[in-house]
Amino acid sequence: LAGHDIAIFIEEKTASELDIQGYATRAMQAIGADAELAVVIGGDGTMLMAARALGNFDIPLVGVNRGNFGFLTDISSDMMLPTMTRILAGEYTLEQRIMLCVEVERNGEFISKGRAFNDAVVSKGTTAKLIELDMTVDGQAVTHQRSDGMIISTPTGTTAYALSAGGPVLHPSMDATTIVPICPHTLTSRPIIVNSASKIQIQFTRGENARIQVDGLPYMELELGDKVLITRHERTVTLLHPAGHSHYEVLRKKLYWG
């Protein structure tokens, strides 16, 4: 990058922890305001963090994989230099992906608000007992469920926890939200897909304890009667892919589809 006469900012905490010298450092918010491209080096968790942190800025993200699966990080570390050279030459495509707005209502007041790039998970706590949840979509009753919880996923998140729970794989460009039950105590409960504009409400109605967790971040304990409200976030995330990127090729490689 420096060889192409491009100004480089390193996120300040990363620079401090890795003792990176010789480059300007910026807080994440300053990078979002000043930079034209964010190069995220790490795994999918690192990309999720960057997507949330930079979600208020119109800055594309490109990922260099240093993790395991790397569904969100297109570039392998050994191909970083030649691939970045092609990207700087204009050989890339841009893709918009949705996020979710996740709010918790308790006794008529909103006590928590966050955004999810992958998923929001309402689940039982530390006990091995089921919890009971009531779910509505756009004000219409959908299910009263006894289970270990529910996963509400963006299309991006359908290759994560939702996939492990038996959910479908959605193309990341779809304008939809997937709702996947976790170990429901019924043979007829199945994942459903709704329009991303829908308003999803999940209420904790019975059980010893439950929690809400967004994108794998530290969870928040729920109390009986709490409502989790999930809608499409007003902002989107822009991912930059090297030219020739194929979502189906990623699925074949990462999920060993042959």
214-231 pLDDT, tens digit per residue, is 999 999 999 999 999 999
Its sign, for the CA torsion 25, 30, 35, 37, is positive
The range of the structural domain enclosing residue 107 comes to 99-235
For 13, phi then psi, to 5°, come to -70, -40
d(C-alpha 194, C-alpha 140), whole Å: 13
Q: Tell whether 103 and 231 lie within a shared domain.
A: yes
Could you say which DSSP state residue 229 is in? E
Catalytic residues: 44
Q: Tell whether 150 and 39 lie within a shared domain.
A: no
CATH number at residue 184: 2.60.200.30
Q: Tell whether 104 and 200 lie within a shared domain.
A: yes
Residue 206 has pLDDT above 80, yes or no: yes
Q: Tell whether 125 and 170 lie within a shared domain.
A: yes
Does the reported pTM lie above 0.85?
Answer: yes
Residue 1 has pLDDT above 80, yes or no: no
- Choose the most confident range, by mean pLDDT, from 47-56, 72-81, 120-129, 195-204: 195-204
Helix, strand or coil for residue 175? coil
pLDDT in the model for residue 89 = 93
Residue 20 has pLDDT above 90, yes or no: no
Q: Tell whether 216 and 104 lie within a shared domain.
A: yes
Q: Tell whether 192 and 120 lie within a shared domain.
A: yes
Q: Which of 158, 160, 185 is nearest to 172 (CA)?
A: 158
Residue 213 has pLDDT above 80, yes or no: yes
pLDDT in the model for residue 18 = 86
Q: Tell whether 115 and 213 lie within a shared domain.
A: yes
CATH number at residue 72: 3.40.50.10330
Q: Tell whether 110 and 136 lie within a shared domain.
A: yes
For 32, phi then psi, to 5°, come to -60, -35
pLDDT in tens, 34-73: 899 999 999 999 999 999 999 899 899 999 999 777 899 9
Q: Tell whether 143 and 183 lie within a shared domain.
A: yes
Angle (CA) 193-136-214 rounded to 5° is 70
Average pLDDT taken over every residue of the chain:
94
Q: Tell whether 131 and 229 lie within a shared domain.
A: yes
pLDDT in the model for residue 188 = 93
pLDDT in tens, 147-160: 999 999 999 999 99
